[in-house]
Each structure stands twice: as C-alpha cells, then as structure tokens.
Amino acid sequence: MMTWRGARILSTGSSWDGALELTVTTDPSTAPDGSTEAPRTLRALAYPALVGPTVVGDHVLLNTTALDRGLGTGGYALVVAVLPSDDQQVARASVPDGPGHLVKARYTPHQTMVLGIDEQESPHHETLEDADDLDAMPVVVADLHSALPAIIAGARHHAEVLGRTQPRIVYVMTDGGALPAWFSRTVSTLCQTGWTDATITVGQAYGGDHEAVTVHTGLLAARHVLDADLAVVAQGPGNLGTGTRWGFSGVAAGEAVNAAATLGGRPVASLRVSGADPRPRHQGISHHSLTAYGRVALLRADVPVPGFGQVADSFAETDHDPHALEATVREQALTLASGTARHTLVDVEATPALAEALEGSPVRLSTMGRGTAQDPAAFLAAAVAGQHAVSLLA
C-alpha cells in the first residue's frame, strides 16, 4: 500500500542530470484513527522529465511510503505529480511527438516511453538488428552499484600503468535497484568527468544516455554503437535483499555473466568482499557473490582474487588483519573454480598505487555506509576487477 501526502515546495536544492532536490512542508493530514498530523518539513526528490518543472510554492503530491518506514530512497520523499492550484485544471498533455515505443516501469503510474537504441525507429537499428558478438570485449559484472566507481578507478589506473590511452567505458545499468538512472549522482558525476562514456539503462530501468530492452542488447549496443572498450554491468543504487540466499536483487549478476559469455565477451566477475560487515554471511566474500557466480552463472568468467599484502597501510584505521582476510577470500574463492561454471581464478595483487587511485575517484566511495577507511577491502576487490579487465584488452 502506498502512502501519499500533499506538500508545498519551500525551496529547491542541488540538481544533477535528471533530478532536483526540494525542501517541502507537508499538508496537515488526518489519520484513519481521526488524529491530526502536523505539517512536517521533508527532503524530496523530483524527476523533471517525469513530473515536469517545479518551482517554489508549487503544491505537489508525494509518495512517502519507504521514507515513513525508514527504508531506502536515500531519505527522500518522491514527487509523484505537481498539483494544480484551485483555479487551474489538470493539463492534458498529448503523447510527445517523436520516435520511441519502449515502455519502461510498465503498468505503473509512472510508466514512461523511451526510444530504444535497438528498436525500429532508432538510427542504430540496422547496426544492432543482426549483432550477435561482443568481439571479446571485457565485461565486468558486479552486484552492487557502489562497486562501479572503484571498478573504473582500477581500469583507468591500469591503463596508465600500461601506458595506454584511457579505455572507453560504458555502464550498463540493470533494474535490480533504482529504476531511474537519474537517482544516481554517481552516474551523473562519472559521465561529467569523463570516467564513463555513456550509460545504457536496460530492463525496466530508464533514464540513461541510451535505452535497451535487455542486458544482451545493452552490451551489444555498448560494443557496436558506442565503441566501448569495456563495459561494466551492475544494478542501480538501492538494492533489495531479504537476508536469504536467493532473495537479493544482485543475484542477477550471474545472469549478466551468462549474457556476456553467450555473446562472445570476456566476463570478469567482481567479488563483493568485506572485512567490516558485521553480518557473518558477508565477511570475506559475500554469500551473494558466491551464489550469483557459483550457482547462477553457468558459463565461465575470470574471477580476480585480490591480494592485500602490499596495501596493509590501507587497513590502518581498521582492526582487520589484511593477511588473514586475504587468506579467507582465497579459500572461499576456490568454490567458484570448482562449481558449475568452473571459473578461472586470477590472483591480482592490490598495490599502494591502486589504493591511491581509489582516493582519486571523482565520487565518494561508499558501500553500506562505509568508506575506504572503514572497509578498504570492498573497494580494492572491485578495483582489481577493473584492472584485470584492462589487461584483457588487445
């Protein structure tokens, strides 16, 4: 069940590609038990492409369901619509002219129509109509959005080490987390700083530079339309999990490995590693990585296994023993080499220069509320995956 609230915009705040922060005050409301709730001041987020322009003083309808329960959405109420004033009628907007017949967020109140990069009206349809091979393009797969900047930092660092030009990197965003790419400041900043060349939103996700129906078409578009040297596949921010082996949206990372391998790419499975997570199932290699790559992925991938011996200084602010953590990770990773897909384990030593490259990220590195000082292993493990992917480039 959804919780709706009317509110008045008090001020506008930061904006980035596709999103605008607002401060609003809610209307007085009456609860089912007859009690009255006083107005509250809330942070809200609007997607102008969905709800239109908003200005101070506008009356808006909010969805506060997750916010009221302390769940997700980054602490924001979400703007559903801009409400008409008393002397206005709701405007009837016609279907916008122009190409595009892919409907995403289908059969929800915010379903939106976009132009798919591979659909018949796209100028790229002919290129993709019979495309069936990634030409051995490396595809790094991760189960958390927070791994994205660390993977790219590792890739860019290794290109510098090898004396190569920076690779063209395309992010393929799946629909396991946020559906609008606009929710992610990371996506916006990585694009603005040139760390990524484009974002393709696939499945029900939307709002990328390009839209595609599946991970398969997204990867093919990255290679054959956008000339990507490598792609990174991960869900958007705000993953969903239930604390069970299979109840996690990131399990789809295994399917992304299958897609990349089926299309003749070089899948690279980025391990989710932690030395700080208080939950035993996420210590060392997360059980989610072991499930996604060990049970869901049926085709072989390279699995970079990080070594922490050279970066002990990165663990200075923690109580983690990097050598013990490395030993745990290596032991856990052996199950991936003997599972259904018989993945190829690749030992990749994290170096002080790689750790320094992470600190140069244009976006704040954070996973589950922990940064590089609190959980360095999480970001180093992602970075070595990016490093390995660049080593696969011809």
> In the chain, what percentage of residues exceed pLDDT 70?
95
User: Which CATH number is 4-83's, of 3.40.630, 1.10.3470, 2.40.50, 3.40.50?
Assistant: 2.40.50
Tell me the two tokens of residue 393: 């480039």
CB 41: neighbour CB atoms within 10 A? 10
Helical residues (DSSP H) of the chain, grouped into ranges? 48-51, 65-68, 125-129, 147-161, 185-192, 215-224, 253-262, 287-291, 322-337, 352-359, 376-391
What are the distances in angstroms from CA 54 to CA 10, 81, 155, 189?
11, 10, 39, 23
Strand partners, 199: 171
By the 8 A CB rule, do 142 and 234 touch? Answer: yes
Mean pLDDT of the chain: 92
Taking only the tens place, the pLDDT of each residue in 242-290 is 888 888 888 999 999 999 999 999 999 999 999 888 887 888 899 899 9
- Rounded to an integer, the average pLDDT of 221-238 is 97
pLDDT in tens, 133-174: 999 999 999 999 999 999 999 999 999 999 999 999 999 999
Domain 125-391 bears CATH identifier 1.25.40: no
Q: What average pLDDT does this structure show over 90-114?
A: 77
pLDDT at 94: 46
CA 280 to chain centre: 24
pLDDT for residue 276: 83
Question: pLDDT tens digits for 21-72?
Answer: 999 999 987 666 667 778 889 999 999 988 989 999 999 999 998 888 877 5
pLDDT at position 160 is 97
Q: What are phi and psi of 9, to 5 degrees?
A: -75, 125
How many C-beta neighbours within 10 Å does residue 14 have?
8
Q: Say how far apart CA 298 and CA 295 lie, in whole Å.
A: 7
Beta bridge pairs of residue 313: none
Q: To which residue do tokens 């070089």 refer?
A: 266
Query: Is residue 139 classed as helix, strand or coil in its secondary structure?
Result: strand
SS3 291: helix
Domain extent listing, the chain: 4-83, 125-391
Residues in the chain: 394
User: DSSP for 37-89?
Assistant: EPP-EEEEEE-HHHH----TT-EEEEE-HHHHTT-SGGG-EEEEEEEP-TT--
DSSP state of 212: -
Residue 337 pLDDT more than 90? yes
